[in-house]
Amino acid sequence: MQGVAVEMDINVIRGIIIFVLLFSFLGLWVWAWSRKRKAAFHTASMLPLEEDNGVIPDKKDAADGQGSESC
């Protein structure tokens, strides 16, 4: 019994590309949701709130600052 000859056509190539992309997506998803990355992502999520001096204001400080200004 001889081996099965696989004819390479565009559909086989498309299938290989789909599997590579699927495994890449799953790997990226696992990396992003891993517990090791949680602290780094939390730090990055606070960057827009950071002041020029590198301090992130607390919720109490932000609420007091907005409530004290009245016309």
Give start and end residues of each alpha helix (H) in 1-71. 10-32, 38-45, 59-67
Give me the amino acid identity at 4. V
pTM over 0.75: no
The CA distances from residue 28 to 14, 24, 43, in Å, are 21, 6, 19
Angstrom distance (rounded) from CA 13 to CA 32: 28
Angstrom distance (rounded) from CA 54 to CA 42: 15
Tokens found for residue 34: 């891993």
Q: What is the pLDDT of residues 20-53, one digit of tens each?
A: 999 999 999 999 888 888 888 888 888 888 777 7
